[in-house]
């Protein structure tokens, strides 16, 4: 039996003895491990990034009463710290992956995230520091130990259709955002209230963690490099101007992409939309994001990840301006659909672009970790800056203009990186 050329796997976990004894089974065994790992990584990111995507529910609930003595900018720091720890600590978790500690990092991250999620349900109204410690720090460190290792693991399980596999993995975040948004909104506002809503979400996450850690398969460590100075591949990657420019552009783009995600529900509420549309506008955005994280990645495998990424980031910025006119039902729904789609592609294409710009001999874990650090810093400061820009009076047009312009600037930087990359070739 001949292996299908549609799927090409790297660093297969099957031993050489198995391949020699029965070559016909080697591909099936490797494919099963690859897709099982993708499913496990999907569940892990579903549970840790999904609640971050649903932070608009927390933002609205905290601002409306639970932490009403604090400003929108103060509250957004909680979600921003989550994202910063997730991405800003990427170099550390990537190094853990390259050192062969992926399994330990993922298990510890799962345990810490679940524990912190349960602790969030015990926080008291008006006590900002309690919410910050549980949701910002505890859950944020848990995400940090999971995100980069699982992204790197899936990336190294696949060669052909790598962008598609990464797109499917990144679709876990908006899917989690949809589920957690609906669950939290319904249980907080129409059910047992905040505490049991958070506990129910924590129980769901814990169950997925248990299943996911059983599904993922660790790859054997790569053979030792023959280079005299293996660290030169890392230096070479960072010194590569198109790579550095792309990483910088990724951080710039992140300054703008999260503004609608964090503030869309509050925006709808202050514009007197119905309670149903106020609750489900973030859901619509997240559903569109799922499609945006998969469909453009299919074209990226065919036309090039960087090329498709440039178009999607630029479109994301231009559509951002549409929020200025989203003061009626049709406008808000259309904005949520189209911004969500291109927001998803802006996120899902970033790491495939990074992987395509570095030498193959580089330690992919730490490379990806370094690449997400600027994105993490932007996540830390982006939404608080936007919150400060709109101010206590919620002057929406200022935040919308800020977020849209930085996305357009990021697209221009990526285009420059593409031109420089083409000249190098």
Name 294's Cβ contacts closer than 8 Å, sequence gap at least 6: 164, 167, 168, 171, 348
Is the pLDDT at 224 greater than 80? The verdict is: no
Dihedral sign for Cα atoms in the order 361, 366, 368, 373: negative
* pLDDT recorded at residue 234: 57
DSSP character string of 374-422: HHHHHHHHHHHHHHHHHTTTT-HHHHHHHHHHHHHHHHHHHHHHHHHHH
Pick from 75-84, 205-214, 265-274, 377-386 the range whose average pLDDT is largest: 205-214
Are the CB atoms for 407 and 394 separated by under 8 Å?
Answer: no
d(CA 301, CA 284): 27
- Judged by DSSP in three states, 8 sits in coil
> What are the φ/ψ torsions at residue 192 (nearest 5 degrees)?
-75, -10
Cβ atoms within 10 Å of 15's Cβ, excluding its own? 12
d(CA 35, CA 262): 32
Of residues 355 and 104, more confidence is placed in 104
Is the pLDDT at 244 greater than 90? The verdict is: no
- Judged by DSSP in three states, 358 sits in coil
190 token code pair: 């129409």
Residues constituting the chain:
425
- Cα distances from 7 to residues 32, 87, 405, in angstroms, run 11, 29, 39
Dihedral sign for Cα atoms in the order 275, 279, 282, 283: negative
86 token code pair: 């997730």
Scanning 67-193, the segments in alpha helix (DSSP H) are 72-88, 90-98, 102-120, 128-131, 139-157, 162-170, 172-190
Q: What is the pLDDT of residues 125-179, one digit of tens each?
A: 888 889 999 998 999 999 989 988 888 888 777 776 777 888 888 888 878 888 8
Position of tokens 């221009």?
A: 412
Q: What is the pLDDT of residues 315-357, one digit of tens each?
A: 999 998 988 888 888 888 999 999 989 988 888 888 888 877 7
End-to-end CA distance of the chain: 38
Structural domains of the chain, with CATH: 22-220+229-424 (1.20.1250.20)
* pLDDT recorded at residue 361: 54
Are the CB atoms for 300 and 351 separated by under 8 Å?
Answer: no
Angle at 198 between CA 196 and CA 204, to 5 degrees: 100
Name 380's Cβ contacts closer than 8 Å, sequence gap at least 6: 80, 81, 83, 84, 88
Scanning 3-53, the segments in alpha helix (DSSP H) are 16-21, 23-53
d(CA 94, CA 246): 19
Reading phi first (left if > 0) and then psi (alpha if -120 to 50, else beta), residue 323 is in: alpha
* pLDDT recorded at residue 304: 81
68 token code pair: 């009403």
DSSP state of 328: S
Measuring CA to CA, which residue among 135, 134, 402 is closest to residue 255? Answer: 402
How many CA atoms lie within 13 Å of 15's alpha carbon, on the beta-carbon side?
3
> What are the φ/ψ torsions at residue 291 (nearest 5 degrees)?
-65, -40
pTM of the model: 0.70
- Judged by DSSP in three states, 12 sits in coil
* pLDDT recorded at residue 306: 87
Of residues 52 and 226, more confidence is placed in 52
DSSP state of 13: S
Mean pLDDT for 92-100 is 79
Mean pLDDT for 391-415 is 88
Is the pLDDT at 425 greater than 90? The verdict is: no
Is the pLDDT at 78 greater than 60? The verdict is: yes
Mean pLDDT for 294-316 is 86
């Amino acid at each position: 039996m001949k292996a299908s050329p549609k799927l090409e796997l790297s660093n297969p976990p099957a031993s050489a003895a198995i391949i020699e004894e029965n070559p016909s089974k080697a591909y099936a065994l490797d494919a099963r491990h690859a897709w099982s790992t993708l499913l496990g990584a999907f569940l892990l990111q579903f549970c840790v990034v999904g609640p971050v995507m649903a932070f608009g529910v927390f933002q609205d609930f905290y601002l409306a009463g639970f932490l009403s003595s604090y400003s929108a900018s103060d509250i957004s720091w909680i979600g921003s710290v989550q994202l910063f720890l997730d991405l800003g600590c990427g170099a550390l978790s990537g190094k853990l992956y390259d050192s062969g500690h992926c399994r330990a990092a993922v298990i510890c991250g799962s345990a810490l995230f679940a524990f912190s999620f349960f602790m969030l349900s015990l926080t008291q109204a008006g006590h900002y520091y309690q919410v910050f410690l549980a949701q910002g720090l505890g859950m944020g460190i848990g995400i940090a130990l999971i995100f980069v290792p699982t992204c790197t693991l899936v990336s190294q399980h696949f060669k052909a259709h790598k962008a598609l596999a990464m797109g499917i993995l990144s679709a876990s975040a908006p899917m989690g955002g949809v589920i957690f948004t609906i669950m939290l909104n319904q249980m907080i506002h129409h059910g047992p209230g905040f505490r049991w809503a958070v506990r129910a979400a924590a129980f769901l996450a814990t169950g997925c963690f248990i299943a996911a850690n059983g599904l993922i398969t660790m790859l054997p460590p790569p053979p030792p490099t023959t280079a005299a100075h293996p660290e030169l591949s890392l230096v070479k990657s960072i010194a590569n101007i198109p790579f550095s420019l792309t990483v910088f552009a990724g951080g710039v783009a992140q300054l703008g992409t999260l503004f609608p995600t964090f503030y869309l529900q509050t925006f709808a509420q202050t514009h007197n939309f119905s309670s149903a549309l106020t609750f489900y506008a973030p859901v619509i955005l997240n559903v569109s994001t799922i499609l945006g994280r998969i469909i453009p990645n299919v074209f990226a495998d065919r036309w090039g990840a960087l090329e498709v990424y440039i178009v999607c980031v630029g479109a994301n910025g231009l559509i951002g301006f549409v929020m200025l006119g989203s003061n009626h039902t049709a406008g808000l729904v259309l904005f949520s659909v189209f911004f969500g789609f291109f927001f998803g592609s802006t996120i899902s294409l970033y790491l495939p672009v990074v992987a395509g710009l570095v030498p193959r001999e580089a330690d992919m874990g730490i490379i990806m970790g370094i690449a997400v650090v600027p994105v993490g810093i932007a996540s830390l400061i982006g939404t608080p800056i936007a919150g400060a820009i709109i101010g206590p009076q919620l002057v929406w047009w200022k935040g919308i203009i800020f977020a849209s312009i930085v996305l357009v600037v990021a697209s221009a930087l990526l285009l420059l990186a593409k031109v420089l990359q083409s000249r190098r070739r």
